[in-house]
Structure 1
């Protein structure tokens, strides 16, 4: 089996296995996070050892290249997301977000601060390792760059959209789909420029931190 075929097959299966855990099976966010660590980190490392898709030592090394991009990009994305919320947030009904979080992930006002810290620090790294490291940077070795961009960003977007299908109204949901696809393409571009997952990890973490800042406001924990 060609390496890119085995890679795409493995990623598709792991995302497929994670979807029902996110949507229905796991009783709370921490259980889901533990399963996600197994499916998106532990199993890919084992499969990569078998199929030799990418050199993990090189993938996980912190390179000098792109540090300015990392800092500037992180600040810009945080300010942009929070700024957009402050400008257009009042036009959308976001009350269902906190209800959906409590019903599907057992995330509530009491534990959201801990979740808000875990997501940018740990979860962002897990996703960058899986979607950009194991998937995108490995794919660029075997298929055309453009295809690698679209496949990785597409799978990244579909995975998140499936989780949040019932969280938002139709207009906001469509905006979310577009935003996730653009974010996936942006993260891929950053990885291609730096040959590392760390730049996109920090920018991804900044994005999560901005979204969690909004979440703190929605839960009434941060007035602004």
Structure 2
């Protein structure tokens, strides 16, 4: 265990997520500018930070395994079905149309731009988040502290970050449900990566979760 490096990663993650939250919820630039900022603070700056802190960055966490892709795609498909079933079971409880309308306004999404933004969120944004929350906040953090601390910190930050992005659009019951659900989802993503320390595992599952969210968004946009 290395308390100095552990604290360094924790502080770095909190600052990076806070900066992105300010950019997305207060400054509110165009979607292109927000996306560029996320590449900067969730990829480029973390790479520089890790290089300065540890020296070695790229390892087995970035190697593709064809056998795992098939298995994880099946798991991702199950996640997609679970989310869609939950949506159909709860649409009588929550006004998803109003929710999507609010989110679309907050994220500057129109019917004409939806497909491109949906593709970016599903494929690119999900990878940026896996790099930050799984590679930096879980895999790298677990090298310097206990696995339990890494699991909890990564999952909680993943949840709080997303709720900060969408909180104003959600009613309180759905906000609390999202907070818990995202934390559990983050823990599942960590578990998927834990065995061989490969972020592509969780990225595939994350993509399918985003596919489900984009499907719900598309239904109501």
Q: Scaled by the length of structure 1, what TM-score is found?
A: 0.92
**For 1:3 and 1:53, how far apart are their aligned partners in 2?**
13
**CA gap 1:120/1:53 in 2 versus in 1, 3 angstroms:** farther
**For 1:23 and 1:93, how far apart are their aligned partners in 2?**
22
State the Cα distance separating 1:64 from its structure 2 match: 5.6
Contact 2:6 2:144 in 1 (8 A): yes
**For 1:65 and 1:47, how far apart are their aligned partners in 2?**
32
Contact 2:130 2:202 in 1 (8 A): yes
State the Cα distance separating 1:69 from its structure 2 match: 3.7
**For 1:62 and 1:75, how far apart are their aligned partners in 2?**
19
**For 2:136 and 2:149, how far apart are their aligned partners in 1?**
15
**CA gap 1:68/1:194 in 2 versus in 1, 3 angstroms:** farther
1:145 corresponds to 2:147: yes
1:82 corresponds to 2:64: no
More displaced stretch, 2-11 vs 100-109: 100-109
**CA gap 1:93/1:54 in 2 versus in 1, 3 angstroms:** farther
State the Cα distance separating 1:149 from its structure 2 match: 0.3
Structure 2: runs of 5 or more not aligned: none
State the Cα distance separating 1:173 from its structure 2 match: 1.3
**For 2:195 and 2:7, how far apart are their aligned partners in 1?**
25
**For 2:155 and 2:16, how far apart are their aligned partners in 1?**
16
Q: Secondary structure at the match of 1:91?
A: coil
Alignment: residue pair count: 219
Aligned to 2:112: 110
State the Cα distance separating 1:8 from its structure 2 match: 1.2
1:62-101 CA deviation, whole Å, 9 max, x = no partner? 2467445412211100111111112222221123323323
1:129-152 CA deviation, whole Å, 9 max, x = no partner? 110011100111111111110000
Contact 1:128 1:197 in 2 (8 A): yes
2:186 to 184, 187, 193: 184
Structure 1: runs of 5 or more not aligned: 220-224
1:106-150 CA deviation, whole Å, 9 max, x = no partner? 112221111111111100000001100111001111111111100
Aligned to 1:161: 163
Contact 2:135 2:199 in 1 (8 A): yes
Aligned to 2:93: 91
Q: Secondary structure at the match of 1:194?
A: coil
Q: Secondary structure at the match of 1:51?
A: helix
**For 2:72 and 2:173, how far apart are their aligned partners in 1?**
31
Question: Which protein is richer in helix relative to its size?
Answer: 2
**For 2:124 and 2:153, how far apart are their aligned partners in 1?**
24
**For 1:150 and 1:49, how far apart are their aligned partners in 2?**
24
